Structure 1
Amino acid sequence: MTENEGRRDLRMPEDGELFAEVLDMLGANRVKVRCADGQERTVRIPGRMQKRVWIREGDLVLVEPWDWQDEKGDITWRYEKSEADQLREEGHLQ
C-alpha cells in the first residue's frame, strides 16, 4: 500500500474563500455557517448550485464573504464527507 493511495486532490480555498461548516438551513436558499475565522455568517446558495448540489447541516463548504457586508456571503463549493475527512486528516481544518 503506497502512502498516497486513496488520496484525492481537493479544491482548496482561493483568495477570499474560507472553510465553513453548515449549522442551520434557513430556507429561501439561505444557510447559517460557522467559518474557519470563528465568525458565523448567513450565506446563500447560488443559482448554479441550487438543484445540482444538495447541502445539509454538518456539511463542509467553501464560503466567499461579501466585500461590502462581512456577515454574509456565498457558498462556492461543497465537499463530500470523504473529502472533508481527508482535509481533517491532513490538518487543513482544526
Structure 2
Amino acid sequence: MRVPQLLTNNQSENLTRQQKRKLQRTHQKACSRLEGLIRKINLPVTFDNNCVTSFGNFGLFEVLKQAIGLVEIVQKHLTVTRHHNCTYSAAEIIDIMIVLP
C-alpha cells in the first residue's frame, strides 16, 4: 500500500472522500499552527539606510527560522563531536551559513 502523503502529482491514488478530507484538515492544522507561531514572534526590523527597503525577505526568513526552531531541530538531529575550545556549536554554524549569501 502506498502512503498518500508521499505520492507526487503524477501518481494516482484512489482515496475516499473521508481520507482526502482528513489529509486536507491535517494540512490546514499544520499551516494554522505555523501561522500562530510566526505571529507570536515579533522581529523588530529596522534599517539605517534610506535606500534599503523594510520589505526585504531577510526579516521574514528570520521569523520563520525562529518559529520552526531551526537551531533546535539541527541540535536534535545532528551530532558532531567538537573540540573543547570551539566557541560555536555546529547548529549555530549551520544557522550562520544559511543566512550568509
Structure 1 length as normaliser, TM-score? 0.21
Which entry has the higher C-alpha Rg, 1 or 2?
2
Greater helix share, structure number: 2
Structure 2 length as normaliser, TM-score? 0.20
Greater strand share, structure number: 1
Query: Higher relative contact order by CA 8 Å / sep ≥ 6: 1 or 2?
Result: 1
